[in-house]
Amino acid sequence: MNDSRTKKGKLFIVPTPIGNLKDITLRALDVLKDVDIIATEDTRTCGKLLKLLGLPRKELVSYYDSVETEKSALVLSKLNEGLDVALVSEAGTPLISDPGYKLVRACIEGGFEVIPLPGATAFVPALVGSGLPPNEFKFFGFPPKKKGYKKFLENVVEETSTAIVYVSSHKIKKFINDLSELVVPERRICICREITKFNEQFVRGNISEIVTFVNSSSANLKGEFVVVLEGKRS
């Protein structure tokens, strides 16, 4: 994207669709077309996405949790050469429950320009479609696998603003049941499944109703979930 290789490259943070390909922005298309390199959480997924969008093939750098430090140094060296880099996650907005923070921090400290693009992320449509107060909210991300889970759950329950949690399909039943043991039965909650996808579903009610739903044999608990919980009332 840079005409002169004497200039420092720029890092673009580019959201990608979380289920519906039409959610890619025109600006994201331009950036992905023009950058020299794409740092991506999954090179195979990114390659398929570029093909589906009709974009040219790019040099792809694998960038995921366990290699963040190593690959951040590589990306910085490319930026120093005057090459522009796009950071994308497997789906959605990078850094939001996805890798990228270390790279962004390193770029800022190194004097490189960081340009974040707006775009797809699951928690925003979940929040605005939940029917719960959106003026104040806290995003908790994914629960810890084991260590810290109990404390995480307590923090969600004690939150006085609207709480938002990402939960995988194989954990949603346990999470809701665990939640129900710590909150009053009338506390409102919404579980959002497969945001932007064909099977998108919003189930709204109080915690007792949602417990009944997730434990019913007819409930479809496949896919990714966003849980939106009403804040604790004083």
Per-residue pLDDT of the chain (234 residues; tens, 9 = 90+): 555 456 899 999 999 999 999 999 999 999 999 999 999 999 999 999 999 999 999 999 999 988 988 999 999 999 999 999 999 999 999 999 999 999 999 999 999 999 999 999 999 999 999 999 999 999 999 999 889 999 999 999 999 999 999 999 999 999 999 999 999 999 999 999 999 999 999 999 999 999 999 999 889 999 999 999 999 997
Which amino acid does the sequence have at 141? G
* Token reading at 148: 């810290």
Task: Answer yes or no: do 109 and 128 share one domain.
Answer: no
pLDDT tens, 39-53?
999 999 999 999 999
Show the DSSP H helices in 67-142 as ranges: 68-80, 101-109, 123-130
Domain boundary among 116, 133, 155: 116
Q: Residue 201 is part of a domain; what is its CATH number?
A: 3.30.950.10
Domain boundary among 100, 116, 132: 116
Task: Give the total residue count for the chain.
Answer: 234
| Domain assignment present for 2 | no
Task: Answer yes or no: do 140 and 109 share one domain.
Answer: no
- Report the number of distinct structural domains present in the chain: 2
Task: Answer yes or no: do 102 and 139 share one domain.
Answer: no
**137: domain range?**
123-229
Element (H, E) at 190: strand 188-193
| Domain assignment present for 185 | yes
Task: Answer yes or no: do 134 and 202 share one domain.
Answer: yes
Task: Answer yes or no: do 47 and 140 share one domain.
Answer: no
